[in-house]
Amino acid sequence: MLRELGQDLTPFEEVRQFILDHIEPLPAEDVPLEEAWDRVLSEHVVCDEPVPGFDNSAMDGYVVRASDVATANAENPVTLEVTARVAAGDAADTPLTPGSAQRIMTGAPIPEGGDAVVPHELTESTETEVIFVVPARSGQNIRRAGGDLSPGDVAVLAGARLRGPQIALVASVGRRTVRATRRPRVAILSPGKELVEPWEKPGPGQVRNSNAHGLAGFVRECGGDPTVLRIVGDDLEEIRAAVKRAIAEGADALLSTGGVSAGDFDFVRQVAEEDGRPGRVFKTSMRPGKPQVFAMIDGKPLWGLPGNPAAAIVSFTVFVRPGLRKLLGERPVVPAPFPVRLTEDIQYRAGRVFMLRARVEPDLESGGYLLASAGDQDSSFLASLSEANAIVELPADREVAPAGDIFPAHWIHPR
Ligand code: AMP
Ligand code: MG
């Protein structure tokens, strides 16, 4: 439809699919549990023993046969002799004889014959006896062997990112190491005659290289290992040489900002078109972030993002993060959008999907998210972008998105 308008725009979803179709996951390596945090699992971790391994008590209290205390109440208490004491780590090798109770602690194994645990708070006890004033139900306060996981269950699926709960689960099934995808080494290239390092004082017409350092943070957040290359000039051979060198030094992927529009010095597109197999230049259906370059150079993905800082970050979210997730074998490759209700009318230019950088907040009343502030949408400004936590996708065929309407949004830092 957009093409019929003569604008020759490619829907950004199509560009993203093109990119994803060319990326294969990196090889896996053994990673010790202590270093597994935030890594992406490349195997299903399967459980081969029941977890927990034995029936155990969920409370500190007394283990009984439920039938022995079935009639207990305040008027007719039941008194049982306490014949043993089982703590966590004990073997529970004294069977529970009918008409007796055993003191038991949380996590301790249930002795043979016991089928209920009465919490300490519901009893009265002496050195040798315990008095029950409430009945017990068979099975109460007992955590069954295999209740969490049974042999053959997949504890954590391949493609999952290992955070605290997943690592705990992997540990509980007895793993010392896991197979995780190697972290992608991502070289970040900054072509631009006007650029100086952030710690340098810009001369006339010069700007500090903010993109490379910001994107390095995004790469790290995705689980990659970024290297910020030194700035290169607007020179075809210099850019080409920097790309080749980065690949020779082991880069798995390259990110570049700037030099992708139709300006006289936009050589990244030329490198992509001439050296890429394939190498493509897109005019995408989104604003900001219309010009995009993607190439496979010596089998390594290269993203040529626009140079304007906000455009670069929006482009990272839409095109690079999914690509890095594919390199990592992470699932889902494209994080799911979530709904945001606008709290003000948003005016924008029709013709392309508007990627509104905004702060959104949870709304307990509606159970969804509300726009909290839209900030300045100038694609070269960073201050408002740094306040934003989401990108709200507003449709191309309108120029006002009205307050009250719901639109899909994407976290700038998905979790
Ligand atoms: P370009 O696409 O190369 O024409 O760049 C578009 C805009 O982004 C220009 O204002 C550039 O100065 C700016 N820009 C390009 N690269 C960077 C960078 N690494 N850091 C900050 N701004 C940049
Ligand atoms: Mg430039």
Angle between helices 236-248 and 268-275 (to 10 degrees): 60
Give the separation between CA 404 and CA 31, rounded to whole angstroms. 48
Residue 97 burial (10 A CB sphere; 0-12, 13-18, 19+): middle
The answer to whether the CB of 284 falls within 8 A of the CB of 3 is no
**Cα(291) to centroid(ligand 1), Å:** 13
**Cα(389) to centroid(ligand 1), Å:** 23
**Cα(321) to centroid(ligand 1), Å:** 20
For ligand 1, mutation pick of 231, 269, 308 (most atoms within 8 Å of CB): 308
**Cα(191) to centroid(ligand 1), Å:** 8
- pLDDT for the residue 198: 96
For ligand 1, mutation pick of 190, 211, 314 (most atoms within 8 Å of CB): 211
**Cα(354) to centroid(ligand 2), Å:** 23
- pTM beyond cutoff 0.85: yes
**Cα(174) to centroid(ligand 1), Å:** 50
Ligand nearest to the CA of 192: 2
Task: Please give all residues whose beta carbon lies within 6 A of any atom in ligand 1, as ranges.
Answer: 190, 192, 194-195, 207, 209-212, 257-261, 263, 306-309
Per-position DSSP letters for 20-52, written without gaps between them: HHT--PPPEEEEEGGG-TTPBB-S-EE--S-BS
Give the separation between CA 352 and CA 282, rounded to whole angstroms. 14
- Print pLDDT tens along the chain (415 aa): 444 444 689 999 999 999 999 999 999 999 999 999 999 999 999 999 999 999 999 999 999 999 999 999 999 999 999 999 999 999 999 999 999 999 999 999 999 999 999 999 999 999 899 999 999 999 999 999 999 999 999 999 999 999 999 999 999 999 999 999 999 999 999 999 999 999 999 999 999 999 999 999 999 999 999 999 999 999 999 999 999 999 999 999 999 999 988 888 889 999 999 999 999 999 999 999 999 999 999 999 999 999 999 999 999 999 999 999 999 999 999 999 999 999 999 999 999 999 999 999 999 999 999 999 998 998 888 888 999 999 999 999 999 999 999 999 999 999 7
Which atom of ligand 1 is nearest to 194's Cα? 12
Ligand nearest to the CA of 230: 1
Sign of dihedral through CA atoms 85, 88, 91, 95? positive
- State pLDDT tens for residues 54-94: 999 999 999 999 999 999 999 999 999 999 999 999 999 99
Instruction: Please name which of 209, 207, 352 lies closest in space to residue 289, comparing C-alpha atoms.
Output: 352
Instruction: Please name which of 223, 175, 181, 191 lies closest in space to residue 312, comparing C-alpha atoms.
Output: 191
The phi, psi pair for 294, rounded to 5°, reads: -140, 135
Instruction: Please name which of 411, 233, 290 lies closest in space to residue 10, comparing C-alpha atoms.
Output: 290
- State pLDDT tens for residues 165-215: 999 999 999 999 999 999 999 999 999 999 999 999 999 999 999 999 999
Ligand nearest to the CA of 291: 1
- DSSP label at 11? P
Pairing of β 177-181 and β 195-196: unpaired
For ligand 1, mutation pick of 208, 230, 257 (most atoms within 8 Å of CB): 257
Q: Could you check whether the bond before residue 52 is cis, i.e. omega within 30 degrees of 0?
A: yes
Beta strands (DSSP E) in 94-212 are 100-104, 116-119, 123-125, 129-132, 142-143, 154-156, 177-181, 185-189, 195-196, 207-208
Give the separation between CA 238 and CA 242, rounded to whole angstroms. 6
Give the separation between CA 180 and CA 370, rounded to whole angstroms. 37
Per DSSP, the three-state class of 345 is coil
Distances in whole angstroms, Cα of residue 306 to Cα of each of 25, 248, 266, 372: 26, 25, 10, 27
- pLDDT for the residue 261: 85
Which atom of ligand 1 is nearest to 261's Cα? 2
Ligand nearest to the CA of 265: 2
Q: Which residues contact 176 (CB under 8 A, 6 or more apart)?
A: 32, 33
Per-position DSSP letters for 281-329, written without gaps between them: EEEBSEES--EEEEEEETTEEEEEE-SSHHHHHHHIIIIIHHHHHHHHT
194: tokens are: 């006007």
For ligand 1, mutation pick of 189, 190, 195 (most atoms within 8 Å of CB): 195
Identify any residues that bridge with 103 across adjacent strands, giving them in sequence order.
62, 85
- pLDDT for the residue 380: 86
